[in-house]
Amino acid sequence: MALKYGRALGKIVAANCQGRILTQPRGTTLKTIRTYSASTGDEEPTAAGQTVVSERRGAVVTVAINRPEVRNAVNQETARRLLEELQAFDSDPDLNVAVLHGKGGNFCAGYDLKMLANQKAPLKLEQDVTKGPGPMGPSRLQLSKPLIAAVSGFAVAGGLELALLADLRVVEESAVMGVFCRRFGVPLIDGGTVRLPRLIGLSRALDLILTGRPIGAQEALAYGLANRIVPDGQALQTAIQLAEQISAFPQQCLRTDRSSAMFSCYDAQSFTQAMQYEFDHGVQVIQAESIPGAIRFTSGAGRGGEFS
């Protein structure tokens, strides 16, 4: 297992240093549909050369990093487009869940270090995290609706940070995750040191942050970093099916419970404050969704734990 990761690590290092990328296209059962553009709000055919492409499927939207020639490493244009697409998703009342993935067999290899190395002017970054994009684009967002990451190939460095932005991660069997930027002195400034310890605990997070070592899907699952493991080539379709399942639930209640969990994890200063937030926001759902749901239950829906 270590030899497999060592070989994979050698390939990506060589590819980064030589400015070339080894691609491994993956199959998918997702049928081609029309592209949603955040800039126009209209549907249009996927344009060649777009660094980010989005596709609507009912109340679910998929957002794809489209730079397979560099393992979907993110440059400034890609960061801007990712931010625009996820902001468009969050503000669209017709969309309930987004799926983030990468084209061409990899999720994201992090920030484009080749571009950074060739930067002639000083890199301008917004220092106030309450304003503007993060270096990877949407990493500073606090979305009001669920985001699922469909992880294939490499999800490393800033790519790992993008995966951490998601609520859930569907991970393919051969996927590799890790803080690979440790090797080159590139810090985690897109939420990696904030979200990773919350998800998997400080001890395990420090193991990954300090060593930069790669971990595979099974270890990621044991850590709680992966939520589902699927065969290679199936992460996107599985993530879409999961998104459609989540999208079918009463959304006000779902988003209220999600918001309370996020508040309790990141913002609450005490148990009492977290409990008060949960009650104050949850009670507002009862008239809108709980009573109609109770009526459906008494009519026979959902008996025996049935979800259909």
Lowest model confidence (mean pLDDT) among 58-72, 132-146, 286-300: 286-300
Task: Let me know: does 68 contact 23? Beta carbons within 8 Å.
Answer: yes
Query: Is 165 a domain residue?
Result: yes
Encoded tokens for 45: 């055919």
Q: How many residues does the chain have?
A: 308
State the pLDDT at residue 281: 96
Task: Write the single-letter amino acid at 78.
Answer: T
Judgement on whether residues 45 and 193 belong to the same structural domain of the protein: yes
**Strands laid side by side in the 154-156 sheet:** 154-156, 176-178, 215-216
Task: Write the single-letter amino acid at 156.
Answer: V
Encoded tokens for 135: 């270096």
Quick one: what percent of the chain has pLDDT higher than 90? Answer: 70
Residue that finishes a domain, picked among 200, 217, 247: 247
User: Is the model's pLDDT at 112 over the cut of 60?
Assistant: yes
Q: What is the CATH number of the domain that holds 194?
A: 3.90.226.10
Query: Is 30 a domain residue?
Result: yes
The span from the CA of 46 to the CA of 36, in Å, is 9
Task: Let me know: does 238 contact 28? Beta carbons within 8 Å.
Answer: no
Judgement on whether residues 269 and 213 belong to the same structural domain of the protein: no
The span from the CA of 209 to the CA of 182, in Å, is 7
Judgement on whether residues 271 and 211 belong to the same structural domain of the protein: no
What 3-state DSSP class applies to 304?
A: helix
Residue that finishes a domain, picked among 247, 263, 290: 247
Judgement on whether residues 71 and 140 belong to the same structural domain of the protein: yes
Judgement on whether residues 118 and 186 belong to the same structural domain of the protein: yes
What 3-state DSSP class applies to 176?
A: strand
Q: What are phi and psi of 46, to 5 degrees?
A: -60, 125
CB burial of residue 29 (10 Å; 0-12, 13-18, 19+): exposed
Cα radius of gyration rounded to whole Å, the chain = 20
Q: For the chain, what is the domain count?
A: 2
CB burial of residue 297 (10 Å; 0-12, 13-18, 19+): exposed
State the pLDDT at residue 120: 73
Nearest to 262 by CA among 270, 273, 271, 274: 274
Q: What's the pTM value of the predicted model, to 2 decimals?
A: 0.82
Structural domain range at position 285: 251-302
State the pLDDT at residue 133: 87
Judgement on whether residues 231 and 278 belong to the same structural domain of the protein: no
Residue 306 CA to its chain's centroid (Å): 29
Task: Let me know: does 233 contact 28? Beta carbons within 8 Å.
Answer: yes
Query: Is 37 a domain residue?
Result: yes
Which of 25-29, 39-43, 231-235 holds the top average pLDDT? 231-235
Judgement on whether residues 198 and 283 belong to the same structural domain of the protein: no
Query: Is 307 a domain residue?
Result: no
Judgement on whether residues 61 and 193 belong to the same structural domain of the protein: yes
The CB-side HSE value for 120 (13 A sphere, CA atoms) comes to 0
Q: What does the DSSP 8-state code read for residue 137?
A: B
Q: What are phi and psi of 28, to 5 degrees?
A: -150, 150
Query: Is 308 a domain residue?
Result: no
Mean of the per-residue pLDDT values for the chain? Answer: 85
Judgement on whether residues 266 and 155 belong to the same structural domain of the protein: no
Judgement on whether residues 193 and 255 belong to the same structural domain of the protein: no
Judgement on whether residues 107 and 194 belong to the same structural domain of the protein: yes
Judgement on whether residues 129 and 265 belong to the same structural domain of the protein: no
User: Is the model's pLDDT at 124 over the cut of 70?
Assistant: yes
What is the pLDDT averaged over residues 50-68? 97
Question: Tens of pLDDT along 6-18?
Answer: 444 444 433 333 3
User: Is the model's pLDDT at 305 over the cut of 90?
Assistant: no
